[in-house]
A and B are shown apart, each in its own frame.
Chain A
Amino acid sequence: MKTRPDDIQTSNKSQSLETYDEMFKRLDEKGESAFIPFVVAGDPDFETSLQIVQEMVRAGADALEIGFPFSDPIADGPTIQAADVRALEAGMTVQKGFEFIRKIREFSDIPIGLLVYYNLVYKMGLDQFYREAKNSGVNGILAADLPPEEAADAIKSAKKHGINQIFMAAHTTSNQRLKNISKLAGGFVYVVAVMGVTGVRSQLDDRTVDLIQRVRKHTPLPICVGFGISQPEHVEKVTKAGSDGAIVASALINLVDEHLEDRNLMLKQMGSHCLALKKATKEKLP
């Protein structure tokens, strides 16, 4: 699965970055799954969200999901919608988003996945977007509203620029589609744990474990589970079910929302919740 196209110019810096393959392999040897926190770049402002990422990395994040804020995020619940609004109001742009990634690369080499809505990519032009993403140090791109049917051009750009094109698998995804997704996808398969949009749920959907096992049967790629994963016990449960990673978003963004008046407390809470979430990934079965 390693993407090593030789037709592209990667900077020396980006060649030393860890790939998804290397990261999953490293964790596998330790009997752990990946803890992957999500941030909206620029929420609540550029500097604070960079400090949040620093906190996450310090607490043991194995990879990062970075969302670029969008005006019409149809796959997101109220928490991430509010984060998008905060970031856009604080002046976030696509260019500043790439700048944000470059800043992260000054202190971390772990895999970074970009989570976007397709219009941001389309507007800039696919080739330019993927080139800039690569140059800023992005490993993978997932567009929430880009199913495989519409992704031929994106996959071409991803290949050309050495980026993993990541796709989602959901409860409603048939086995036939899973096989197809598996053929097209790079990096990992993003398993959507809930029937619904992003947001904190108190309990893990009962069907999540079945879904993880079903996806596992149809793809050799690593699997990461997201949507509604908020507590260490959720992480533990999906890890035990065979997931290679857990993506936590809304639960962490809620900490931003709750502590807007006290940035130090926000960062402290972020650090301690991330520590607890990372700890829960150490229960992977061999």
Chain B
Amino acid sequence: MIKDGKFGKYGGIFVPELLIPALEELEAAFLKYKDHTKFNNELEYYLSEFAGRPTSLYYAKNLSVKLGCKIYLKREDLLHTGAHKINNTLGQGLLAKYMGKERLIAETGAGQHGIATAVVGALFGFPTDVYMGSADIERQKLNVLRMELSGTRVLSVESGSKTLKDAINQALRDWITNVETTHYLIGSTVGPHPYPEMVKHFQSVIGLETRQQIIEKEEKLPDAVIACVGGGSNALGIFSAFLNDKNVELIGAEGGGDGPGGRNGATLTYGTEGVLHGSLSFVLQDHDGQISEAHSVSAGLDYPGVGPEHSQLKVTGRAKYVPIMDKEALRGFELLSKYEGIIPALESSHAVACAEKYAKKPENKGKTIIVNLSGRGDKDMHIVSQKMGVKA
């Protein structure tokens, strides 16, 4: 490897020996193409023509009046397939093409990353397999169909908690077996180096646009940038443009689940240091180091690990992480739908609820807040209808 892939002490390449050469190959390709004009022109073409970039930075006037702050929404929900995930899958899919790989594999929890991978598989002509826990398949049947329509095979994972973490395990096992021909398209800023750095790079387009847009509209930087954190890719995507602006507060909203002491997915808040899926970071685990099952109302935040760079941002204090409980997220979901006519993904609803909490603090009155609206809520309608007691 050229770099050690560390963010402070976090990150690294904690993988079986079989995968090391593949990580070396991937790192070399990433470093070669990330500043390559032809590659970047092609990626920009697909990001704008296929995915719909740039996305707007929308001034949420009604919500701003209600909360007494200036609230802007970065509209990643408007992208093709309905979430920021496509920024990364287009980037990695194109990289796999440049590397001459023959097949894509991916993991998915809710199905958003699976769908974003499936459409890129169709676009670039890759045979594509997506691993999905059988519990998630049950919860997200329509997303399975969407992937299958794009020609992707959805492979059910029956082991462990039958959710995202086990889908990643199974994708890693597939990659170990087919490493010479296959690219493993990881969906967040997690996994061994170079994934956390690479996924952040492909998501940093969110931050680059946002920074320019807010300066155009406000002629200054925002006071706070708020994003939800599952593995951490949409958050790092938008944070990346503000890391050096010490006066901009960076806040990550984690899946707080049932709240303190209850089931949750708030790895940075309730977790401890450990090694999972190839990197050292915070994880939810027991006394022995066995990984715990996570829980969140939003499948995308239902993960017992988190990207290593977030661990570093947490311990250095550059970013703050706040657990948002399921019921608070559902309120955020309703709030944005009602006041702005924008139905957010349940993941993004955590960021909305977090912004509401932030705005309600007296010392934050009148501040300018950017919320990364990472995805739209169509996929979550049946969950929300159950929670609200409405028969869908």
A17 in contact (CB, < 8 A): no
Contact present for A146 and B14 (CB under 8 Å): yes
Most chain A CB inside 10 Å of its own CB: which residue of B15, B18, B272, B276: B18
A100 in contact (CB, < 8 A): no
B165 in contact (CB, < 8 A): yes
Contact present for B18 and A172 (CB under 8 Å): yes
Contact present for A197 and B290 (CB under 8 Å): no
B274 in contact (CB, < 8 A): yes
Contact present for B17 and A119 (CB under 8 Å): no
A-B contact pairs, 29 of them (CB 8 A): A70-B290, A72-B169, A72-B277, A74-B172, A75-B16, A76-B173, A88-B290, A94-B288, A119-B275, A119-B285, A119-B289, A119-B291, A120-B288, A123-B272, A124-B289, A145-B14, A145-B15, A147-B15, A147-B20, A171-B18, A172-B18, A172-B22, A172-B179, A192-B17, A192-B18, A195-B180, A196-B18, A197-B173, A197-B176
A266 in contact (CB, < 8 A): no
The digit string for A129-146, where 1 denotes a CB below 8 A from any CB of B, is 000000000000000111
A253 to B295, CA, bound (A): 32
A233 to B41, CA, bound (A): 56
Of A75, A150, A174, which one neighbours B21 at CB under 8 angstroms?
A174
Residue ID in chain B nearest A97 by CB atoms? B288
Residues of A near B285 (CB, < 8 A) are 119, 123
A117 to B288, CA, bound (A): 12
A167 to B388, CA, bound (A): 54
Of B1, B22, B173, B287, which one neighbours A77 at CB under 8 angstroms?
B173
Contact present for B276 and A72 (CB under 8 Å): yes
The digit string for B158-183, where 1 denotes a CB below 8 A from any CB of A, is 01100001100100110011111000
Contact count band on A: 35 or more
Q: Which of B7-50 contact A (CB under 8 A)?
A: 12-22
Residues of B near A192 (CB, < 8 A) are 16-18
Q: Given contacts A72-B166, A123-B289, A195-B178, could you give 6 more A-B pairs where the C-beta distance is less than 8 Å?
A: A71-B291, A77-B173, A94-B288, A168-B16, A172-B21, A195-B180
A145 to B20, CA, bound (A): 10
A117 to B289, CA, bound (A): 10
Residues of A near B274 (CB, < 8 A) are 119, 122-123
- B18 to chain A minimum Cβ distance, whole angstroms, is 4
- B190 to chain A minimum Cβ distance, whole angstroms, is 13
A232 to B176, CA, bound (A): 26
What is B's interface to A at a CB cutoff of 8 Å?
A: 1, 4, 12-22, 159-160, 165-166, 169, 172-173, 176-180, 272-278, 280, 283, 285, 287-291
Contact present for B276 and A119 (CB under 8 Å): yes
Residues of B near A85 (CB, < 8 A) are 159
A93 to B159, CA, bound (A): 20
Known interface pairs A71-B160, A88-B290, A119-B276; A168-B176 also in contact (CB < 8 Å): no
Residues of A near B179 (CB, < 8 A) are 172, 195
Known interface pairs A150-B14, A173-B20, A192-B18; A197-B177 also in contact (CB < 8 Å): yes
Residues of A near B17 (CB, < 8 A) are 147, 167-170, 172-173, 192
A81 in contact (CB, < 8 A): yes
Residues of B near A123 (CB, < 8 A) are 272, 274, 285, 287-289
Residues of A near B173 (CB, < 8 A) are 74-77, 196-197
Known interface pairs A71-B291, A147-B13, A197-B177; A122-B18 also in contact (CB < 8 Å): no
A177 in contact (CB, < 8 A): yes
A120 to B159, CA, bound (A): 20
A162 to B319, CA, bound (A): 42
Residues of A near B159 (CB, < 8 A) are 78, 81, 85
Residues of B near A122 (CB, < 8 A) are 273-275, 280, 289
- B246 to chain A minimum Cβ distance, whole angstroms, is 32
Residues of A near B169 (CB, < 8 A) are 72-74
Contact present for B289 and A177 (CB under 8 Å): no
Contact present for B4 and A149 (CB under 8 Å): yes
A122 to B289, CA, bound (A): 8
Residues of A near B276 (CB, < 8 A) are 72, 119
- B335 to chain A minimum Cβ distance, whole angstroms, is 37
Q: Which of A155-185 contact B (CB under 8 A)?
A: 167-174, 177
Q: Which of A237-276 contact B (CB under 8 A)?
A: none
Residue ID in chain A nearest B15 by CB atoms? A145
A71 to B277, CA, bound (A): 12
Residue ID in chain A nearest B293 by CB atoms? A71
A144 to B283, CA, bound (A): 19
Give me the 8 closest cross-chain CB pairs, A-B, nearest first: A123-B289, A196-B177, A168-B17, A71-B290, A172-B21, A119-B289, A170-B18, A119-B275
Residues of A near B289 (CB, < 8 A) are 94, 119-124
- A205 to chain B minimum Cβ distance, whole angstroms, is 12
Contact present for A177 and B288 (CB under 8 Å): no
